[in-house]
Amino acid sequence: MKAPDQEKAPDIVLRAEGITKIYGGTVALDNVDFNVYRGKVNVLIGENGAGKSTLMKIIAGAETATRGHLLLEGQPVQFKSPREAARAGIGIIYQELNLFPNLSVAENIFLDHEALHRYGMLVDRRRQQTEARRLLQRLEQPIDPQALVGHLRLGQQQIVEIAKALARDVRILIMDEPTSALTTAEVEILFRVIRELKAQGVSIIYISHKLEELLRIGDYVTVLRDSHRIAEAPVSTIDVNWIVEQMIGRSVSETYVHQERTPGQELLRVEHLSLPRPGGGLLLDDVSFQVRAGEIVALYGLLGAGRTELLECLMGLHPEASGSLWIAGQRLRGRHVGERIAEGLVLVPEDRQREGLVPTLSVAQNMVLASLRRYLSGPALSRQKELAAVRRLMGDLGIKAPSPQTLIEALSGGNQQKVVVARGLLTEPRLLLLDEPTRGIDIGAKADLFRLMNRLASEGLGILFVSSELREVMSVADRILVLARGRLTGEFRREEASEEALVAAASAGQGPATGDEEAAHGPVPSGAADPVDRQAQATAPAASALEERRHQPRPRA
Amino acid sequence: MRNPSSVTSREPAARRSFALQRRQIQTILFQLRAFVALIILVVIFSILSPDFLTLNDLTIVAEHVSINALLAIGQSFVILTAGIDLSVGSIVGLTAMVAGYLISQGLPLPMFGVVVYFNVWVVILISLLVGIILGLVNGLVITRLSVAPFIATLGMLYAARGLALLTSNGATFPDLGGDPSLGNTGFPFLGTGNILGVPMPIWLMILFGLVASFVASRTPFGRQVYAIGGNERAAQLSGIRVNRVKLLVYVISGFCAAMTGLVIASQLQAAQPATGESYELNAIAAVVLGGTSLFGGRGTILGSIIGAFVIGVLSDGLVLIGVSEFWQMVIKGAVIVLAVIIDQLQQRWQKRAALA
């Protein structure tokens, strides 16, 4: 069902009027108006907890408004379930992916509207697969429709989620942070798809925290703050500063902070780190670098470049890795995460929900989880000691929670992330490893996090953080390492980094980022002799050293 | 909305606080639901049967309950890690038989041509060790060989029962009173004796309950158990040795099962190979009734003990008012499912309250 071509703008396809949503005694949305213009990208922004997701759930039929109503094509509608909304042509891609890891890509895409054989009893798998392949090709992703979703990387799963929405004929498509797990190249593809959809008359509602991105792709912007609609404006009339001011009343230059520091002694040394890929090839190929005390080092690269695996190796999660690791001149010997933590390393993982939080525990219990032994008095945990530590960090990091006993799930994404960071800090690490620490958190929380990183570095902590956002990498880090296909392909000091050089290094020796399938072919000789490769030569040791190492008994990484 | 500080409410403060109070009361009632159910049951049975509330009868009920409670305590640790231990009933049987064998047959040492009869304390220690070893095997199969807990302990359910039957070729060891000339008397005290007028099984239940509650709620190990049940990967990345903790919970469960086996053999003063059959299901039911989630991470030891009381009071009460054994099973089944339904409702409410 496609909307008829409408040239004369602005034409409103869906209008939310005076929407109020009350949960218990709490007002999540307060008399909010929202216009969705036909064939446009309608951006909705606001900090975490401003009410964006609630509004989207109401539009998509997952929640019903306490007061107010929706007008679709001028007619009042009420969706009692997501199914009804879908029937009216409204699709949604949630921020937390709604995929079934145990089903194949094609099965996920066609869930609930399976392609059937002629008599309508059996699923026509072949047709589903052909169709799925066509959709994925449109998204320029060579993902196998028969692959299990659980085996895909997060970025690829996001693509599947988008394909799933496209598989239904939608006239309004809600995208809740669709790019949070995508690399730059994948974002470009997504934007191309969005423009294509617009041309077909599909109206997009787009939620994201990445402001530059919004300005590039958006047509209209609506700002929510504290459950109220603050402003609406065409994108052509505004800039980043306007958005930030509307959102938080603070200017953008305060977000990406960087203090000048003089890095101290070498803290972490990684020598010839290699990690075999199950099934052949290498996930990490002879990686060597150091991090100094008081230094913020960014690890930039595309999805599947091996960044997460590198951090995991440092935490002792891959006993099959080879090479040697040193911290402050001492060989790292810990055989599991606990021992590595004792040696002064700690990891804040990428996927907060899956790897960071324990949803059944409180804020305080989540925070002290990695440092329980510090709060013992006799054989028991001392509540006073725990609470003292928790209160200190809640204050230090500006964690907003009703109380330390609140369940972690009740906090906003930004505050949850701060709790996971606090858990790491309570282990009193020497080196802090952050894997995409700003994923899915709002600009206020981001600014807090960057300020914290600067402060910690000034206190002598070494920080190694993985990021896919160029702006973040270039403005926060003292030094940037670029990883491509498991190899270190670039190293830049802050002053000498440029977007072009970083992107070139990140895609050295490969085509567009595709993650697992392509990388599975193992190390590819980086043929080009561009400046980036010379960088790589400088940081990587000679091939003979690599050979030599293979004949030695393999040390534990 | 998630961020309470950003909330603007239009409701009058008085109404809001009333709503809050009502919700709090509802939440508390829900959390204590097993306890509430217990009180309701006691009231109903004492109305229907005048004998029910006599001290004598309550003591008998508590003795029955204590057996299931011991198993439920061990099972709680396992279920909190999102595991399950189906083998406890069979471990009960095997340890009962081991104790029976050692007391009535002694340990023959053919190379010396003698039969060694151990002191009762040693018999108890050996039997407990058997439970620990079987728990250890469960744990090792689950953690080192990555076998699902359901399957690993199902295997143990059969294997341990088989071993129990093998100890006597299926026969019963009667008369476990021991022989003064062999110096192995005193075993019946564990199940039938009493201290300060309170039967030993009840003391054991209290002791195990207190220690287990302390371990679960106040020690790092307990916290790690909850964390693993809530999110195993997050626990691992926080430096928790997940496999070691899991191994330990199965050992704890095996140990509790062994204790139960000893108590039963001691009560009967006889060891039958069929001892403890289907007890694992009673234990799991008690844990679930007590509000522990089968998905792990949520629940308390005290809840499981109360759950055991609910089951015990229900079955003894139904016997007392003359309900047939067959109907008892139907009622027990319905109660268990009802408990889980209430649990689901509570979670939904709590989530709503948390997000509000």
Cα distances (angstroms) measured from residue A285 to each of A236, A306, A321, A501: 46, 9, 10, 21
Residue found by looking up tokens 């009740």 in the block: A410
Contact B1 A227 (CB under 8 A): yes
The residue among B238, B292, B346, B352 with the most chain A CBs within 10 A of its CB, best to mutate, is B238
Nearest to A24 among B23, B229, B240 (CB): B23
How far is the C-alpha of B189 from the C-alpha of B2, rounded, in Å? 57
- Counted residue by residue, chain A has a size of 557
Best mean pLDDT range from A469-478, B2-11, B175-184, B202-211: B202-211
Question: How many residue contacts between A and B have a Cβ separation below 8 Å?
Answer: 139
Give the whole-angstrom CA distance, residue B44 versus residue B316.
13
Tell me which chain A residues have a C-beta less than 8 angstroms from the C-beta of B3.
48-49, 400, 412, 415
* Bond before A142 cis per omega within 30 degrees: no
Indicate whether A93 pLDDT > 90: no
Residues 6+ apart with CB under 8 A from B139: B246, B247, B248, B249, B250, B251
Residue A245, token pair as written in the block = 């001011």
Could you give the 3-state DSSP secondary structure of residue B12?
coil
* Complete edge-to-edge strand list for the sheet that includes strand A322-327: A282-292, A266-276, A322-327, A330-331
**Structural domain count, chain A:** 3
- pLDDT attached to residue A509: 56
What is the reported pLDDT for A214?
Answer: 86
HSE, side-chain direction, 13 A CA sphere, residue B50: 0
* Rounded percentage of chain B residues whose pLDDT exceeds 70: 89
CB contact under 8 A, B238 and A315: no
The model's confidence at residue B214, banded by pLDDT at 50, 70 and 90, is very high
Strand A75-77 to strand A67-72: parallel, antiparallel, or no bridges (unpaired)? antiparallel
pLDDT at B23: 59
Q: Is the confidence at residue A516, as pLDDT, over 90?
A: no
In this predicted structure, what is the pLDDT of residue A533?
A: 39
Mean pLDDT of the A467-475 span: 83
DSSP assignment of A492-526: EEGGG--HHHHHHHHTTTSSS---HHHHTT-----
Using the structure block, give the residue that is written with the tokens 């319905």: B334
- The length of chain B is 356
Q: A346 CA to chain B: closest CA distance, Å? A: 8
Supply B141's token pair.
Answer: 């199969």
Q: Please report residues of B whose CB lies closer than 8 A to that of A52.
A: none
Query: Is A469 a domain residue?
Result: yes
What is the model's pLDDT at position B111?
A: 83
Cβ contact, residue pair B241, A427, below 8 Å: no
Given an 8 Å threshold on Cβ–Cβ distance, is B11 in contact with A25?
A: yes
| DSSP H helices in A363-509 | 363-367, 383-397, 413-425, 443-458, 470-476, 499-506
Model confidence band, residue A367 (pLDDT cutoffs 50, 70, 90): very high
pLDDT(A510) > 80:
no
Q: Which residues of chain B lie closer than 8 angstroms to A347, CB-CB?
A: 237
Q: Do B3 and A48 touch (CB under 8 A)?
A: yes
B229 to chain A: which residues are within 8 Å by CB?
A: 360
Task: For an interface test with B, give the residue of A361, A368, A381 to mutate (most B CBs within 10 A).
Answer: A361
A327 with A344: CB under 8 angstroms?
yes
CB B98 within 8 A of CB B273: no
Residue A238 or B211, more confident:
B211
Are the beta carbons of B220 and A372 separated by less than 8 Å? yes
Q: Which of A359, A402, A412 sits opposite B230 (nearest CB)?
A: A359
User: What is the CATH number for A20?
Assistant: 3.40.50.300
Asked if the model's pLDDT at residue A553 lies above 50, the reply is no
Is pLDDT at A526 greater than 70 in this prediction?
no
Residues A495, A535 within the same domain: yes
- A534 — pLDDT class (breaks 50, 70, 90): very low
- Tell me, yes or no, whether A324 and A466 share the same domain: yes
- Per-residue pLDDT tens digits for B7-62: 344 444 444 445 556 656 666 666 677 788 888 888 888 888 877 777 777 788 88
Closest-CA residue of B relative to A367 is: B238
Q: Is B188 helix (H, G, I), strand (E, B) or coil?
A: coil
Q: Do A49 and B239 touch (CB under 8 A)?
A: no
Output the average pLDDT for chain B. 86
Distance of CA B276 to the CA centre of its chain: 13
Contact across the interface for A410 and B241, Cβ inside 8 Å: no
pLDDT in tens, B59-75: 888 888 999 999 999 99
Q: What is the C-alpha radius of gyration for chain B, rounded to an integer number of angstroms?
A: 23
Q: Are residues A139 and A211 in the same domain?
A: no
Q: Which residues pair with A327 in a beta bridge?
A: A268, A330
Q: Do A380 and B214 touch (CB under 8 A)?
A: yes
- A378 assigned to some structural domain: no
Q: Which residue has the higher pLDDT, B169 or A3?
A: B169
Contact of B95 with B130, CB cutoff 8 Å: yes
Q: With contact defined as beta carbons under 8 Å apart, do A381 and B218 qualify?
A: yes
Q: Do A444 and A508 reside in the same domain of the chain?
A: yes
Tell me, yes or no, whether A464 and A320 share the same domain.
yes
From B234, B241, B296, residue closest to A356, measured CB to CB: B234
Interface contact flag, A369 B354, Cβ < 8 Å:
no
- For residue A548, pLDDT over 60 is answered with no
Asked if pLDDT for residue A253 goes beyond 70, the answer is no
Which string of DSSP letters, residue by residue, matches A268-333?
EEEEEEEEEPTTSSEEEEEEEEEEETT-EEEEEE-TTSSHHHHHHHHTT--TT-EEEEEETTEEP-
Q: Name the DSSP letter for residue A362.
A: B
* Host domain of residue A482: 266-344+429-551
Q: Which of the given ranges, A308-312, B54-58, B190-194, has the highest pLDDT on average?
A: A308-312
For B220, the closest of A347, A361, A373 (CB atoms) is A373
Mean of the pLDDT values across residues A298-303?
86
- The number of beta carbons lying within 10 Å of the beta carbon of residue B183 is 12
Contacts of A25 in chain B (CB under 8 A): 9, 11, 16, 19-20, 356
**For A108-126, what is each residue's pLDDT tens digit?**
888 877 777 767 777 788 8
Interface pTM, i.e. ipTM: 0.84
Measured between CB atoms, which of B8, B214, B219 is closest to A226? Answer: B8
Average pLDDT over residues A268-288: 89
To the nearest whole Å, the CA of A445 is away from the closest chain B CA by: 13
CB A286 within 8 A of CB A274: yes
Q: Residue B227 and residue A358: Cβ atoms within 8 Å?
A: yes
Neighboring chain B residues of A360 at a CB cutoff of 8 Å: 226, 229-231, 293, 296-298
How far is it, in rounded angstroms, from Cα B263 to Cα B66? 10
Tokens in use for A477?
A: 């880090």
| pLDDT the model gives residue B141 | 97
Confidence class for position A530, pLDDT limits 50, 70, 90: very low
| A71 shares its domain with A201 | yes
- Cβ <8 Å between B237 and A315: yes
The answer to whether A334 and A316 have CB atoms below 8 angstroms apart is yes
B147: which 2 tokens?
């076998």
- Which amino acid is present at A429? P
Q: Which one of A26, A315, A339 has the shortest CB-CB distance to B1? A: A26
> B24 to chain A: nearest residue by CA?
A24
**B218-262 pLDDT tens trace:** 999 999 999 999 999 999 999 999 999 999 999 999 999 999 999
Summarised one tens digit per residue, pLDDT across range A311-362 is 999 999 999 999 999 999 899 988 899 999 999 999 999 888 889 999 999 9
Which residues touch B236 (CB under 8 Å, ≥6 apart)? Answer: A337, B242
Distance from CA of B101 to the nearest CA of A (A): 38
Q: What is the pLDDT of residue A539?
A: 38
Residues in chain B with CB shorter than 8 Å from the CB of A429 are none
Give pLDDT, residue A340.
94
Per domain, the residue ranges of chain B are: 35-355
- Min Cα separation A337/chain B (Å): 5
Closest CA to A418 of A384, A388, A393, A443: A393
Give the per-residue SS3 of A109-146: HCCCCCCECCCCCCECHHHHHHHHHHHHHHCCCCCCCC
Whether the CA torsion B213, B215, B220, B224 is positive or negative: it is negative
As a whole number of angstroms, the distance between CA A35 and CA A416 comes to: 31
For residues B114 and A26, which has the higher predicted lDDT (pLDDT)? Answer: B114
**Min Cα separation B288/chain A (Å):** 17
Which residue in B255, B247, B263 sits closest to B212, CA to CA? B255
Task: Give me the pLDDT at residue A463, please.
Answer: 95
Mark whether A202 and A314 lie in a shared domain. Answer: no
β-pairing, A322-327 with A376-377? unpaired
Q: Could you read off the pLDDT of A410-446 as tens digits, one per residue?
A: 887 788 999 999 999 999 999 999 999 987 777 778 8
Contacts of B240 in chain A (CB under 8 A): 337-338, 369
Element (H, E) at A381: strand A380-381
| pLDDT reported for residue A255 | 67
Q: What is the pLDDT of residues B293-325, one digit of tens each?
A: 888 998 999 999 999 999 888 888 888 888 888
Is there a single domain that holds both residue A436 and residue A531? yes
What φ, ψ does residue A276 adopt, rounded to 5°? -70, 145
B230:A30 CB<8 A = no
pLDDT of residue B353: 62
- Choose the closest CB to A338 out of B16, B239, B350: B239
- B1 to A23: CB separation less than 8 angstroms, yes or no: yes
State whether residue A305 is helix, strand or coil.
Answer: coil
Q: What is the rounded average pLDDT of the residues A216-242?
A: 87
Q: Does the structure show a pLDDT above 60 at A547?
A: no
Of A248, A276, A303, at which residue does a domain stop? A248
CB-closest option in B9, B223, B353 to A27: B9
Task: Determine the pLDDT at residue A140.
Answer: 75
Range of weakest confidence among A49-53, A200-204, A512-516, B129-133: A512-516
φ/ψ of B342, rounded to 5, equals -60, -40
Determine if residue A39 is left, alpha or beta; phi over 0 gives left, psi from -120 to 50 gives alpha, anything else beta. Answer: left
d(CA B228, CA A121): 43
What is the token pair recorded at A405?
Answer: 């006993």
Give me the helices (H) in B105-196, please.
Answer: 120-143, 149-168, 189-192
Residue A109 lies in a domain: yes
- A513 belongs to a structural domain: yes
Q: Write down the pLDDT at residue B347.
A: 72
Q: How far apart (Å, rounded) are the C-alpha atoms in residues A153 and A125? A: 24
Residue A403 within any structural domain of the chain: no
Asked whether the beta carbons of residue A25 and residue B240 sit closer than 8 angstroms, the reply is: no
Please answer yes or no on whether A380 and B16 come within 8 Å at the CB atom.
no
CATH code of domain B35-355: 1.10.3470
Q: Are B85 and B253 in contact (CB under 8 A)?
A: yes
Same domain as A292, residue A149: no
A118 lies in the same domain as A188:
no
Q: Is residue A371 part of a domain?
A: no
Amino acid identity of A46?
Answer: G
This prediction's pTM: 0.75
Asked if residues B318 and B327 have their Cβ atoms less than 8 Å apart, the reply is yes
Residues of A in Cβ contact (< 8 Å) with B354 = 406-407, 409-410
The three-point CA angle A272-A278-A282 to 5° equals 30
| Mutate: best of A360, A363, A399, A434, partner B, most B CBs <10 A | A360
One domain, residues A50 and A125: no
The predicted pLDDT at position B221 comes to: 96
- Optimal mutation site among B237, B293, B300, interface A, most CBs of chain A within 10 A: B237
| pLDDT over threshold 60, residue B211 | yes
A contacts of B213 (beta carbons < 8 Å)? none
The whole-angstrom distance between B233's CA and the closest CA on chain A is: 5
Confidence of residue A3 (pLDDT cuts 50, 70, 90): very low
- Per DSSP, helices labelled H in B169-241 are 189-192, 200-218, 220-230, 232-237
A370 vs B23, B239, B355: nearest CB: B239
Written as one letter, the residue type at A381 is L
The pLDDT of residue B20: 52
- How confident is the prediction for chain A on average, in pLDDT? 81
Alpha carbon B176 to chain centroid distance? 25
* Domain membership flag for residue A30: yes
On whether residue A256 sits in a domain, the answer given is no
